[in-house]
């Protein structure tokens, strides 16, 4: 697994996001879409780029569980073999976030899952068969996803630790290039994990930020 991490100032990145009148997460999602498009082969640029974005459901529903409590939404952009303005990508991503991050939309999605769970036919099907069908469905759905981005958010520690911690980083195993990011104080660490040798997407992503004046420390296991 290839890991490339970029560490930088949160304020520096937020300043750029605010120049585009958007949030940190929407800016980073748009930049990942842009970076993937820039490195796509010409014969594949007509295909939509689809990012899977986790949603922390604790923001919308009360829960006392210590386990993961999240859903996902897909953010798609159709480039149509053209070179779009970066602001157009941000506007499209922003609209997708507004539509997907509503209580009504999340209720609809969860109700759909619950209806499948309570369906009498699915309940009488033997578990091994259900597991097999779910694995196939998951693989088919997974083929539609180009990459994913997960913003863990701001990590807060007791003030007594401030002099001993500079930053946090989080990475996950990946079947395709994807990023996770988190912030601590004024440090944000963006972690790219990928099973591939090529690092063009990562290079394009960090070069965009660097050209905007952000000072980036790059570390890698390559």
Average pLDDT over residues 76-89: 83
Report d(CA 174, CA 158) in Å as an integer. 32
What order do you get walking across the sheet with 147-154 strand by strand?
A: 70-77, 49-56, 147-154, 178-184, 187-194, 2-9, 217-220
The answer on pLDDT for 112 being more than 70 is: no
Average pLDDT over residues 182-204: 95
Q: What homologous superfamily does CATH list for 2-220?
A: Nonribosomal peptide synthetase, condensation domain (3.30.559.30)
20 pLDDT tier (thresholds 50, 70, 90): very high
For residue 55, which of 174, 189, 173, 150 has the smallest C-alpha distance?
150
38-52, 99-113, 134-148, 185-199, range with greatest mean pLDDT: 185-199
Report d(CA 218, CA 30) in Å as an integer. 21
Site of tokens 């991503």: 93
Element (H, E) at 47: none
User: Which sequence spans correspond to the domains of the chain?
Assistant: 2-220
How many CA atoms, within 13 angstroms, populate the side-chain half-sphere of residue 160? 1
């Amino acid at each position: 697994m290839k890991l490339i991490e970029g560490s930088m100032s949160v304020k520096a990145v937020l300043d750029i996001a605010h120049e585009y009148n958007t949030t940190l997460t929407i800016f980073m999602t748009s930049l990942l879409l842009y970076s993937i498009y820039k490195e796509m082969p010409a014969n594949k640029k007509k295909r939509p780029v689809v990012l899977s974005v986790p949603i922390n459901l604790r923001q919308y529903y009360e829960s006392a569980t210590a386990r993961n409590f999240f859903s996902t939404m897909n953010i798609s952009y159709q480039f149509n073999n053209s070179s779009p303005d970066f602001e157009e990508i941000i506007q499209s991503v922003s609209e997708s976030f507004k539509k997907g991050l509503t209580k009504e939309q999340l209720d609809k999605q969860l109700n759909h899952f619950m209806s499948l769970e309570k369906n009498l036919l699915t309940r009488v099907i033997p578990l091994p068969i259900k597991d097999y069908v779910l694995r196939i469905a998951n693989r088919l759905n997974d083929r539609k996803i180009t990459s994913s981005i997960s913003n863990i958010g701001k990590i807060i520690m007791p003030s007594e630790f401030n002099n001993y911690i500079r930053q946090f980083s989080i990475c996950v195993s990946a079947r395709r290039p994807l990023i996770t990011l988190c912030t601590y104080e004024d440090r944000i660490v963006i972690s790219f994990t990928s099973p591939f040798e090529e690092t063009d997407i990562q290079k394009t992503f960090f070069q965009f930020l660097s050209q905007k004046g952000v000072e980036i420390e790059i570390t890698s296991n390559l």
